[in-house]
């Protein structure tokens, strides 16, 4: 059993190999703490992808079960999508310290695999060298990877001079891509925020354009438009608010002109965190509306980020958010078809559901579900992990408990 292997020890030879006998779903059992359950989920996502990329075998072994229509147009980016989106979620945990000996060993192993994988992904001579310029999709996933590197400075510290040069050159290639006049401006902005963060020359205009336009695209009550239009989907969480938070955090020390918007954005982030927590039903399900539902628990990237950065509004206790997100992870991984027989994530929201996906979704796209794991970057002693379990808002409401009234945000 995967659980038994996980508890026995974590080392280069003690990880369960992903074969035809691999468990195709995970479930929270009574013997596990929430953190152990989250770590099992992390390992389930990361093991096949990182181990194959470190061996320069990801393109050869990673399947692509995207939608039938249009899948070939994005198949070339399958591995970059998977790598960038996995790292964006596990980066804070890779950066963290502490935990049990087993957790420390797993973290050390995955850090080494990540650095080696990054070397193969950016080395033009490697089999797993990834696409970084036109057509458009590489900009998206280069930016997710850039955000992951910002969230885990250890990766950059462990990189030698040649690897650093290769990463910088790869990210610069993405500048050939013209972003759409929507949330894609944040993808370009994140690349420049990464350059700013490491002391590299950066394009201030791309950074400023992403920030200023989103300031204009705020629609009210905690939500931004995806461009000038408002969309009923989870893109405020997938991209817009987590990216804005990080870009502003990196830019503000050098560019004080963003201070007023940062104050406004913090209030917006808090309101949207409240909305997201109320979206989670008593059983861990949530409304399936809008595009990109195949990103599963990634729908709560923003709520996870507010937990990690300890910016949850006072109305939300860390414990209730932990329990709510744990329920989401459980629900979105319990179906037997969530992973294939070799341990690869399959596209869908609940199991394998290609019919609900867009024509740009490939297997790698779904790895954005890792973003729910951001709070693993908090130590075990943090209230998020150490506090006793608490019901989340929808549970309280549908149990007939007293719950405070919800009100719109007025700025």
Q: Do 129 and 123 touch, CB atoms closer than 8 A?
A: yes
Give the span between the Cα atoms of 121 and 263, in whole angstroms: 37
Among residues 272, 208, 266, the alpha carbon closest in space to that of 236 is found at: 272
Higher pLDDT, 3 or 75: 75
The pTM assigned to this predicted structure is 0.93
Higher pLDDT, 252 or 1: 252
Nearest 5°: phi and psi at 194? -65, -45
In the chain the domains, ranked by start, together with CATH numbers, are 2-18+32-398 (1.50.10)
pLDDT at 187 exceeding the cut of 90: yes
Band (pLDDT 50/70/90 cuts) for residue 274 is very high
End-to-end CA distance of the chain: 52
Helix axes 101-122, 34-54, angle to 10 degrees: 30
pLDDT at 20 exceeding the cut of 70: no
Q: What is the mean pLDDT of the chain?
A: 92
pLDDT of residue 134: 83
213-232 average pLDDT score: 97
Band (pLDDT 50/70/90 cuts) for residue 208 is very high
Q: Residue 406, Cβ neighbours under 10 Å: how many?
A: 10
pLDDT digits (tens, 9 = 90+) for 94-137: 999 999 999 999 999 999 999 999 999 999 999 999 999 988 99
């Amino acid at each position: 059993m995967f659980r038994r292997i996980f508890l026995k020890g974590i080392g280069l030879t003690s990880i369960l190999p992903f074969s035809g006998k691999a468990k195709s779903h995970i479930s929270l059992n009574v013997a596990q703490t929430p953190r152990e359950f989250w770590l099992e989920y992390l390992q389930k996502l990361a093991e096949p992808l990182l181990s194959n990329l470190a061996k320069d075998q990801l393109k050869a072994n990673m399947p692509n079960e995207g939608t039938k229509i249009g899948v070939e147009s994005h198949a070339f980016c399958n591995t970059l999508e998977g790598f960038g989106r996995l790292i964006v979620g596990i980066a804070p945990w890779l950066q963290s310290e502490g935990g049990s000996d087993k957790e420390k060993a797993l973290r050390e192993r995955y850090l080494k695999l990540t650095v080696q994988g990054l070397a193969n992904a950016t080395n033009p001579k490697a089999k797993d060298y990834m696409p970084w310029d036109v057509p458009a999709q590489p900009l998206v996933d280069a930016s997710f990877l850039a955000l992951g590197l910002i969230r885990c400075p250890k990766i950059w510290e462990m990189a030698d001079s040649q690897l650093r040069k290769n990463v910088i050159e790869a990210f610069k290639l993405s500048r050939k891509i013209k972003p759409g006049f929507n949330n894609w401006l944040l993808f370009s902005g994140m690349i420049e925020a990464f350059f700013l963060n490491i002391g590299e020359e950066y394009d201030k205009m791309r950074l400023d354009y992403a920030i200023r336009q989103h300031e204009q695209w705020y629609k009210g009550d905690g939500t931004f438009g995806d461009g000038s239009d408002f969309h009923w989907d989870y893109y405020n969480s997938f991209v817009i608010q987590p990216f804005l938070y990080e870009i502003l955090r990196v830019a503000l020390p050098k560019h004080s002109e963003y201070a007023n918007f940062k104050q406004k954005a913090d209030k917006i982030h808090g309101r949207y965190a409240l909305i997201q927590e109320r979206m989670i039903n008593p059983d861990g399900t949530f409304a399936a509306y809008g595009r990109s539902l195949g990103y599963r628990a990634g729908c709560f990237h923003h709520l996870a980020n507010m937990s990690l950065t300890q910016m949850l509004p006072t109305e939300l206790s860390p414990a209730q958010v932990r329990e709510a997100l744990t329920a989401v992870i459980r629900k979105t991984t319990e179906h037997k078809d969530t992973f294939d027989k070799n341990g690869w994530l399959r596209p869908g929201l609940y199991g394998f559901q290609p019919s609900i996906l867009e024509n740009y979704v490939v297997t790698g796209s779904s790895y954005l579900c890792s973003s729910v794991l951001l709070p693993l970057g908090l130590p075990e002693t943090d209230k998020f992990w150490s506090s006793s379990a608490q019901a989340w808002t929808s549970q309280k409401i549908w149990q007939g408990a007293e719950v405070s009234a919800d009100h719109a945000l007025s700025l």
